[in-house]
Each structure stands twice: as structure tokens, then as C-alpha cells.
């Protein structure tokens, strides 16, 4: 497991690939919850839930720099991300764990949403339309009934974040995704349950356990943050060597092959299996700081290297 600050200090003394990555980055893809937002989706707190403007200040510094563009890449819905992007000064985003890419056309004053259903057969994809979203098709498949029946008290809707979605159901619970995905093997609609990091909901009705609660997305099979990043870079005319990702969940770590480097925040280590998973991703680094502190740590380092 590579420590970001340790590797950075070594690179600054001896040179190396990490400095090259930081100096050529054009797009910073960022998770939202547990990354720039803390408890209850708050921006203005630190990892100890104390009032802090550190992350907000780093966002402002990133926005005024010509070095790179920030693009949210998260499990949140289009509706939520439109407001978040407006508030934080961003235009485009990847939502619903990679199942929706959204682009703002400044001249026309319109937004274009593109669904990610790479493994859906044409007979299903042709059913999509203004009144039939990917989520409508997923809900009609019976997948949710199977999931709730198989794991009573172990999984539920991640209320209130599950409303106004277009391509995925967002859930919370304590289940094994590999095991759960066998429930959908015989469905006509290719669907997959994706884990999206440890969360701390203020309220839930899950069975009591010492295991941490995790967020999940029931999504079109093949719709991942990594593939969405790949498609987004192609649209921008950029290569993966010009992009990095920062986040805290397994779905973020799995973006490693699609970017030059991925930076996992210190709080990501709370997720079961994360330490072992990090060992398998050669371009992954762990920041010293948790949540927004780690995010600011990364942004400040990029800006410092850009100015050299």
C-alpha cells in the first residue's frame, strides 16, 4: 500500500512518475460523499465533524486554477448533482456510480444526460425513452424483491438519497456483493449490485451489527465509474495519463485502470477488504488526511507542482 506523502517526498528528492502524473493532470474526478462531504453531506466540517472551511477553500483554489478541471464522479443522482455542481462551481459530472454522464452546454443553456448501459442487449436498450429510464426497467425486473427477500434486515433503500434517480437504486446495508449478484443471474435484464463505500446514516432500520454500513447501487451491469471516466475522457479528447481519481469506496478504487493514478482517502481504510484491494492496484495511493482534509491535501499538492 503506497502512502501518498511518503511517495511524494521520495519523488521530490529523486524524481519519478508521481510528479509527472501530478504535473500533467487535466481532469480530477472526485467522489462526493466521504470525500469532499462529511457527515450528513456537510461541506463545512473536517473529518472530526468540527466546523472547517479547509475543503471549501481547496475547491475555490482548484476552480480558479487553469491546471485542471474538477468532475464529480459519484453515486448521487442527476438532480442532486445539478445542485451540488451549481453550488461548487462545476459543470459536468458522472452520476449514479457511472450509469449517467451529464454535460452542461453553456451557450445553449441546456444539459445532456447520457445513460451507461454497455452490456444491455439491444432489445432492452431500445425500450429506453423519456418515460422509461434504466431504473424503470430495473424496478420492473423484480430484482429488488429478490434482494429484500434474500437479506431481510440486512439491506434497505438509502433514504432519502434514493429518490429522483434515473438509472440505479441506491441502498445501504451489510451484504456481500458477490453472493448477492447470483440472485440476478437468470434475469433478462443484466443487473449488478455495486458497493460504494462505508457510510454512517443518521437513521436506519437495519439489524444491529458491529459491521459498518455500506452504500450500494443496483445498476445496469457494466455501468461503472471507471468505464464512465473512459467515455468522458474520450469525449474531452484526453488520455488516461491526464486524469486522476480521488475517493473513499471500492467503486472508486476500481477506477485505477482508467486513470493515471487513484488517490484513496485515509477513511477508505475502514471498508472491509480495502487494504488488500489496494495492494492489487499499482497506481493507488492513500492520503494522510481523511475526507475533505485528504482531498485538500491532494489539490494543494497538484497546484504546488503545477506552479513549479
- pLDDT digit string, tens, across residues 100-132: 999 998 888 889 999 999 899 999 999 988 889
Rounded CA-CA distance 156/204 in Å is: 8
Mark whether 234 and 250 lie in a shared domain: yes
- pLDDT reported for residue 300: 97
Domain assignment present for residue 250? The answer is: yes
Whether residue 289 is contained in a domain is answered as no
For residue 287, being part of any structural domain is answered with: no
For residue 177, tell me if it sits in a domain: yes
The span from the CA of 258 to the CA of 261, in Å, is: 9
Q: Are 85 and 142 members of one domain? A: no
Q: Is 122 helix (H, G, I), strand (E, B) or coil?
A: helix
Residues 209 and 239 in one domain: no
pLDDT at 79: 92
Chain segment 228-285, per-residue pLDDT in tens: 999 999 999 999 999 999 999 888 999 999 999 999 999 999 887 899 999 999 999 9
pLDDT value of residue 6: 94
CB 103 within 8 A of CB 175: no
DSSP-derived 3-state class of residue 80? helix
Same domain, 182 and 142: yes
86-101 residue pLDDT tens? 999 999 999 998 999 9
Domain count, the chain: 2
Q: Are residues 199 and 175 both part of a single domain?
A: yes
CATH code: domain of residue 252: 3.40.50.1000
Do the beta carbons of residue 93 and residue 81 sit within 8 Å? yes
If asked whether residues 78 and 212 sit together in one domain, one would say no
When pLDDT is averaged across residues 121-145 and rounded to a whole number, the result is 93
Phi, psi of 264 (to 5 degrees): -95, 130
Same domain, 201 and 129: yes
Q: Which of 83, 168, 81 is nearest to 133 (CA)?
A: 168
64 and 108 in a common domain: yes
Q: CA-to-CA distance for 77 and 99, rounded, in angstroms?
A: 10
**pLDDT of residue 37 exceeding 90:** yes
Residues 180 and 241 reside in one and the same domain: no
pLDDT band at residue 139, thresholds of 50, 70 and 90? very high
CA–CA dist 75, 81 (Å, integer): 10
E strands in the chain: 2-3, 27-30, 69-72, 93-95, 100-105, 110-115, 155-157, 169-173, 191-199, 213-220, 243-247, 261-264, 284-286
Partnered with residue 247 across adjacent β-strands are 264
Domain that holds residue 216: 122-220
Residue where the block lists cell 458491529: 210
Is the overall model pTM greater than 0.75, yes or no? yes
Domain membership of residue 14 (yes or no) is no
Instruction: Yes or no: say if 246 and 271 are a contact pair by the CB < 8 Å rule.
Output: no
The continuous run of DSSP H or E covering 14 comes out as helix 4-14
Judgement on whether residues 237 and 112 belong to the same structural domain of the protein: yes
In a domain, 172, yes or no: yes
Q: Are 100 and 237 members of one domain?
A: yes
- Please write the tens of the pLDDT for every residue from 148-206: 999 999 999 998 889 899 999 999 999 999 999 999 999 999 999 988 778 888 889 99
Where do the DSSP E strands lie in 149-295?
Answer: 155-157, 169-173, 191-199, 213-220, 243-247, 261-264, 284-286
Same domain? For 81 and 100 the reply is: yes
Amino acid at each position: 500500500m503506497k502512502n501518498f506523502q511518503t511517495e511524494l517526498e521520495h519523488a521530490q528528492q529523486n524524481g519519478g512518475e508521481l510528479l509527472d502524473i501530478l504535473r500533467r493532470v487535466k481532469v480530477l474526478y472526485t467522489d462526493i460523499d466521504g470525500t469532499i462531504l462529511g457527515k450528513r453531506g456537510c461541506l463545512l466540517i473536517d473529518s472530526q465533524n468540527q466546523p472547517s472551511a479547509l475543503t471549501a477553500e481547496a475547491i475555490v483554489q482548484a476552480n480558479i486554477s487553469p491546471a485542471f478541471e474538477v468532475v464529480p464522479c459519484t453515486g448521487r443522482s442527476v438532480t442532486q448533482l445539478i445542485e451540488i455542481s451549481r453550488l461548487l462551481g462545476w459543470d459536468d459530472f458522472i452520476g449514479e456510480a457511472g450509469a449517467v454522464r451529464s454535460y452542461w452546454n453553456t451557450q445553449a443553456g441546456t444539459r445532456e444526460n447520457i445513460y451507461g448501459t454497455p452490456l444491455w442487449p439491444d432489445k432492452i436498450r431500445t425500450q429506453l425513452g423519456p418515460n422509461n429510464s434504466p431504473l424503470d426497467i430495473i424496478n420492473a425486473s423484480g430484482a429488488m424483491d429478490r434482494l429484500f427477500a434474500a437479506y431481510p434486515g440486512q439491506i434497505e433503500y438509502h433514504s432519502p438519497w434514493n429518490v429522483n434517480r434515473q438509472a440505479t437504486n441506491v441502498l445501504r446495508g451489510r451484504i456481500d456483493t458477490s453472493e448477492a449478484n447470483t440472485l440476478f443471474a437468470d434475469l433478462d435484464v443484466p443487473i449488478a449490485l455495486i458497493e460504494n463505500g462505508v457510510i454512517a446514516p443518521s437513521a436506519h432500520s437495519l439489524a444491529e451489527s458491529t459491521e459498518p454500513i455500506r452504500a450500494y447501487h443496483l445498476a445496469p451491469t457494466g455501468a461503472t465509474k471507471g468505464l464512465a471516466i473512459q467515455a468522458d475522457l474520450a469525449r474531452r479528447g484526453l488520455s488516461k495519463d491526464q486524469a486522476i481519481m480521488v475517493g473513499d469506496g471500492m467503486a472508486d478504487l476500481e477506477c485505477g485502470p482508467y486513470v493515471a493514478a487513484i488517490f484513496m482517502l485515509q477513511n477508505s481504510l475502514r471498508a472491509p477488504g480495502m487494504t488488500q484491494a489496494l495492494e492489487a492496484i499499482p497506481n493507488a495511493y492513500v492520503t494522510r488526511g481523511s475526507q475533505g482534509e485528504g482531498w485538500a491535501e491532494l489539490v494543494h499538492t497538484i497546484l504546488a507542482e503545477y506552479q513549479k
